[in-house]
Amino acid sequence: MANFKDIIGQDQIKTHLLDGILQGNISHAYIINGETGSGRRLLASALTKALLCENRSAQGDACGVCKSCKQADSNNHPDVRFVTHEKASISVDDIREQLINDITIKPYSSAYKIYIIPDANKMTEQAQNALLKTIEEPPEYAVILLITENSKNLLNTIQSRCITLNTRPLTKAEIKEYLIKNLQMDEDQADIAAAFCQGNVGKAIHFSSDQNFQEMKAETLSLLKQIDKMDVPEIMQQIKSFSQRKSSMDDYLDLMLLWYRDVLMFKITKDTNILLYREEYKAISEQACIHNYQKIENIIKAIDNAKVRLAANVNFDITIELLLLTIKEN
């Protein structure tokens, strides 16, 4: 499990929780809300570890060396429960068997007994209603942590009885510094990963070290450098290639946006130092010369529109065909 000091960003949430620990003012239930990779689980684990720690620091963080911390780090602490589910949703039986029937049993070795519900937004309405009474009248030692990527999926009655903590996107500078310092990534690669992840450090860490991402990047850049010269059969072949990787298409589109962001910025400034794809300076400068501002903006708008259409489940092949033809025509 994490310590608060190891979590980058989210300073407002960390301060709120650490102050609560020091003052003995911890809520019986928290909703930790944000997209996957934003640090929700790290915050939940840091709070859990600190509450159970036998020798907290002066700042309220876990010591990391006591018996309780070692048990927490090995996911073997007797006073921590993770609510799991085998089906697509968290059922009322899951909540009853793993939480409601267990919460009356006092902590084994700590002042707190902590229940963590990952994917809490997947609870059925019946499961939430079953949980509601426990949240309304919890034992004094119980802390329930609901981790969600969309807190709006929770009943208003649940939300009103919890403290909601919303994670925020990190700045590009924060993520870049972390990637260079902790993952020993070179500056150019860290620049691209930090820009690509749009404030999500988990996404940056995953893709910066994922060979598939490097291949995705290479394929995207190869396409964008050649698309002006591609004929219709070649474009159709590219659509077929993308169709085989539909689940990653949003990432391909984000990489395209970064490319045309570079083309636009170079056209405006002629400054290679601000480019994310600095190693592609020659191709970027050529496209900046070929395309006028309106055409670059048309392409960027077309990519944004493709993202919206795919999110709305518009036909995949038609959406990508329209996008690639728009890029070629502009």
226 and 108 in a single domain? The answer is: no
pLDDT of residue 272: 84
Domain boundary among 114, 138, 166: 166
Q: Percentage of the chain with pLDDT > 90?
A: 55
The residue among 288, 322, 293 whose CA lies nearest residue 307 is 322
Interval 302-316 mean pLDDT: 91
Domain, as residue range, for 290: 210-329
Q: Is residue 138 part of a domain?
A: yes
pLDDT of residue 115: 97
127 and 246 in a single domain? The answer is: no
12 and 86 in a single domain? The answer is: yes
Are the C-beta atoms of 239 and 76 separated by less than 8 Å? no
Q: Is residue 200 part of a domain?
A: no
35 and 90 in a single domain? The answer is: yes
Interval 105-118 mean pLDDT: 95
Residue in the block written with tokens 């910066």: 208
Range of weakest confidence among 91-105, 131-145, 316-330: 316-330
Quote the pTM value.
0.72
The residue among 15, 14, 19 whose CA lies nearest residue 2 is 14
128 and 17 in a single domain? The answer is: yes
pLDDT for 207-245, tens place per residue? 766 677 778 888 888 999 888 888 888 888 888 888 888
How far is 227 from 218, CA to CA, in rounded Å? Answer: 14
pLDDT of residue 65: 94
Q: How far, CA to CA in Å, does 63 sit from each of 3, 5, 55, 260, 283?
A: 8, 11, 6, 47, 52
116 and 30 in a single domain? The answer is: yes
Residue in the block written with tokens 């006591």: 66
162 and 223 in a single domain? The answer is: no
228 and 142 in a single domain? The answer is: no
151 and 14 in a single domain? The answer is: yes
Q: Is residue 54 part of a domain?
A: yes
Q: What is the CATH number of the domain that holds 268?
A: 1.20.272
Confidence of residue 20 (pLDDT cuts 50, 70, 90): very high
CA angle 121, 193, 241 (to 5 degrees): 80
Domain boundary among 103, 138, 166: 166
Range of weakest confidence among 109-118, 145-154, 265-274: 265-274
Q: Is residue 290 part of a domain?
A: yes
12 and 144 in a single domain? The answer is: yes
160 and 219 in a single domain? The answer is: no
156 and 83 in a single domain? The answer is: yes
Which position has the higher pLDDT, 214 or 55? 55
Q: What is the count of structural domains for the chain?
A: 2
Q: Looking at the DSSP assignment, which residues form a beta bridge with residue 33?
A: 148, 166
Q: Is residue 195 part of a domain?
A: no
